Amino acid sequence: MKTHYDAIVVGSGLTGSLAARELTQAGLEVLLLERGSPRLCPSLPASSFPSIDLDDFHIQRNCYLFEGPNLAHYFVNDREHPYLSDPDAPFWWIRGYQLGGRSATWAGQSYRWSDLDFNANLVDGAGCDWPIRYTDLAPWYSKVERLIGLTGRKEGVPQIPDGEFGKARSLNAVEEHLRKTLQGKFTRLLTPSRIAEGRSNGKRSCQFCGETHSDGVVYYSSINGALPEAMATGRLAVKTGSIVHSVLLDHRSGRASGVRVIDATSKAEAEYQARIVFLCASTIPTNQILLNSTSRQFPTGIGNSSGVLGRYLVDHHWKSGANARIRLPSDISNQESEVPWGSYVPRFRNLGVEPSRDYLRGFGYQVSSGMIDNEGDWLVNFHGFGETLPSQSNFIELDRTQSDSYGMPLVRIHFEYGANEYAMRGDMQASAVEMLEAAGAEEVIPIQEPAIPGHSIHEMGGARMGRDKRDSFLNGWNQSHEVANLFVTDGACMASSACQNPSITYMALTARACHHAVDLLKKGEL
């Protein structure tokens, strides 16, 4: 098999498949390395899937989507893929090792970040200043939105800038009622969720297998989106069952020369070379690969002279909000939301509009609702997603005394929420109750479940972008400060978490970094 390429991309999820698409469409010969393999479509009869032992999935089964054998194989077997965290401070790492990564299982919620988010670290000093601002990313959001078939309603609110939207579904009756209440009584917004529905071209193809199905909710995925487009260029080689162990350093040039790979079946090692390397294995595996890439020059991980690698892990805290029953006049008939998580209340705290709170940053709500009888009763759930402040004490390290069955040192995750997150959670709950009561709800039930880090599946950071190579790992182009042809564009690159679902931002950063890398190659600078 060929071993030299223009570019190596690690991981085939939302970011890796996009990198493969952008780089191949720009004319590069790309090798995509993916540790997992293609999976059967869960729409097949249950008899197509082996039965599972739930104890093998003691972390994964906490994910709301984990239900039964049809979907279990889209999640890792926790016994086969161990990692370490403090039993008193657990971190639930929800993941899937398969062609397409977690694009197969994500829910497509996608909101642009704004300068409220990109300025935040500079303004309040928690975290290093982002080296980019919204205008740097805006055109790349547009490009990604066209690819993923984003639907939404243009609202003109600065904290979630409008994008290139296809037509959003209508709000249902209770959502219309809540929208009016929030606008009238609070000057807040409730808008249809912005969802990556995939490009239709007259038909919708399955998120899992890419085939056309007549029913079910489908979102954009690598399998129905970027991967086939990259394959169509004829310049993509995909090697599944390939676990990237480390990035190789060429000592003379100080550049990455390629990667070392372990075969998932035979456990044989191999090396592949390329002019540029893109790490898109998702936040924690990318940190693992970087920390595992040691050399005389970089004894604690490639490009890690600053010692910042692995630090400032962030995520979203959730499981705080409220449930309620709302009775509308029974002559109002309207169907239930067509998709789970039907609408969204964007951040309204610490915007400068309402008085600021006793905590920094803010949260948004995903709102789901459904009519429960013919008397006009609806159930509504406000589910908060809150920003987590960057903290040096939340980090990933490798335990070099323990390794997995492939010889990779185990990841140890240290993560605890701090006073800011707990103060915000109180407000997340109280504000949901307040808004539902203002909407005339009966039986408002506050929700405050224990928040387990990782559970929201929005883990980010560890190889953060920044202006200063002394306190960040990547520059403003997602390029290692120290190893110029090494790019990290998955969630590991994030310098803060904002409160919006993050994947579209990883994707916009990926597209932008790919085009920059191609420009540098053309100019002979890489």
Ligand X SMILES: Cc1cc2nc3c(=O)[nH]c(=O)nc-3n(C[C@H](O)[C@H](O)[C@H](O)COP(=O)(O)OP(=O)(O)OC[C@H]3O[C@@H](n4cnc5c(N)ncnc54)[C@H](O)[C@@H]3O)c2cc1C
> CA 95 to CA 77: how far, in whole Å?
9
Tokens representing residue 332 in the block: 């109002």
Choose which of 65, 138, 379, 410 interacts with ligand X (CB under 6 A).
Answer: 65
Closest distance to ligand X from the beta carbon of 92 (Å): 11
> CA 311 to CA 471: how far, in whole Å?
10
Closest distance to ligand X from the beta carbon of 482 (Å): 21
**How many other CB atoms sit within 10 Å of the CB of residue 405?**
11
Closer to ligand X by CB, 94 or 322: give it: 94
Q: What is the DSSP letter of 357?
A: -
Closer to ligand X by CB, 33 or 441: give it: 33
Q: Are 204 and 227 in contact (CB under 8 A)?
A: no
- 280 counts as binding ligand X under rule CB under 6 A: yes
Closest distance to ligand X from the beta carbon of 128 (Å): 21
Closer to ligand X by CB, 357 or 412: give it: 412
Choose which of 57, 92, 93, 97 interacts with ligand X (CB under 6 A).
Answer: 97
Choose which of 63, 218, 236, 314 interacts with ligand X (CB under 6 A).
Answer: 63
Closest to 304 measured CA to CA, from 314, 294, 315: 294
Only one of the segments 142-150, 163-171, 238-246, 386-394 lies at the binding site for ligand X (rule: CB under 6 A); that segment is 238-246
Only one of the segments 10-18, 176-184, 418-426, 511-519 lies at the binding site for ligand X (rule: CB under 6 A); that segment is 10-18
Closer to ligand X by CB, 225 or 491: give it: 491
Choose which of 173, 218, 457, 474 interacts with ligand X (CB under 6 A).
Answer: 457
Closest distance to ligand X from the beta carbon of 101 (Å): 2
- 108 counts as binding ligand X under rule CB under 6 A: yes
Closest distance to ligand X from the beta carbon of 512 (Å): 15
**How many other CB atoms sit within 10 Å of the CB of residue 154?**
11
Closest distance to ligand X from the beta carbon of 264 (Å): 9
SS (H, E, C) 60-110: HHHCCCCCHHHHHCCCCCCCCCCCEEECCECCCCCCCCECCHHHHCCCCEC
> CA 424 to CA 160: how far, in whole Å?
20
Closer to ligand X by CB, 245 or 349: give it: 245
Helix/strand/coil percentages in the chain, nearest 5: 25, 25, 50
Choose which of 424, 490, 509, 518 interacts with ligand X (CB under 6 A).
Answer: 490
Binding mask 134-173 for ligand X (x = CB under 6 A): ----------------------------------------
Choose which of 190, 506, 513, 521 interacts with ligand X (CB under 6 A).
Answer: 506
> Beta strands 191-192 and 343-345: pairing type?
antiparallel
> CA 144 to CA 17: how far, in whole Å?
12
> Beta strands 377-387 and 269-279: pairing type?
unpaired
Which residue shows structure tokens 């949901």? 432
- 10 counts as binding ligand X under rule CB under 6 A: yes
Tokens representing residue 517 in the block: 């890398």
Choose which of 20, 72, 94, 511 interacts with ligand X (CB under 6 A).
Answer: 94
Choose which of 317, 503, 513, 518 interacts with ligand X (CB under 6 A).
Answer: 503
> CA 440 to CA 443: how far, in whole Å?
10
- 102 counts as binding ligand X under rule CB under 6 A: yes
Number of residues that bind ligand X (CB under 6 A): 40
Q: Are 152 and 168 in contact (CB under 8 A)?
A: yes
Beta bridge partners of 256: 249
Closer to ligand X by CB, 328 or 495: give it: 495
Binding mask 12-51 for ligand X (x = CB under 6 A): xxxxx----------------xxxx---------------
Per CB under 6 A, contacts with ligand X among 241-260 are 242-244
- 11 counts as binding ligand X under rule CB under 6 A: yes
Q: Which residue is nearest to ligand X (CB)?
A: 13
Tokens representing residue 250 in the block: 């060429």
Q: Are 441 and 380 in contact (CB under 8 A)?
A: yes
Beta bridge partners of 98: 37
Per CB under 6 A, contacts with ligand X among 412-451 are none
Q: Are 329 and 385 in contact (CB under 8 A)?
A: no
What is the chain's length?
A: 526
- 453 counts as binding ligand X under rule CB under 6 A: no
- 220 counts as binding ligand X under rule CB under 6 A: no
Closest distance to ligand X from the beta carbon of 460 (Å): 8
404's CB contacts (< 8 A; 6+ apart) are 81, 82, 410
> CA 209 to CA 223: how far, in whole Å?
6
Closer to ligand X by CB, 65 or 237: give it: 65
Closer to ligand X by CB, 107 or 326: give it: 107
| Residues of the shown chain interacting with ligand X in the complex, contacts defined by CB under 6 A | 10-16, 33-36, 63, 65, 94, 97-98, 101-103, 105-110, 242-244, 280-282, 285, 289, 457, 490-491, 501-503, 506
